[in-house]
Amino acid sequence: MPSSGFILLGLVVIVALLFDYINGFHDTANAIATSVSTKALRPHTAVILSAVLNFAGALSGTAVAATIGKGIVSPSIITQEVVVLALLGAIAWNIITWLSGIPSSSSHALIGGVIGATVAGHGFDVLNWPGLYMIILSLIISPLIGFGSGYLIMTLVYFLVKGTSPGRANEVFRRLQVLTASLMSFSHGSNDAQKTMGIITMALVSAGMLSDFAVPIWVIIACASAMALGTMAGGWRIIKTMGGKIFKIEPINGFASDLNSSLVILTASSMGMPVSTTHVVSSSIMGVGTSKRIKAVRWGTARTIVTAWVLTIPLSGLVSALLYQLIHLFQ
Segment 62-78, tens digit of pLDDT = 999 998 888 888 887 88
* 32 confidence band (pLDDT: 50, 70, 90): confident
Model pTM? 0.84
CA–CA separation, 165 and 186 (whole Å)? 32
Segment 226-277, tens digit of pLDDT = 988 888 776 555 455 444 455 567 888 889 999 999 999 999 999 999 888 8
Mean pLDDT score, 16-29: 80
Write the DSSP string, 8-32: HHHHHHHHHHHHHHHHHHHSHHHHH
| Alpha-carbon distances of 309 from 93, 109, 304, 317, rounded to whole Å | 12, 10, 9, 13
Query: Contact at 8 Å (CB) between 130 and 85?
Result: no
Q: What is the residue extent of each domain of the chain?
A: 3-321
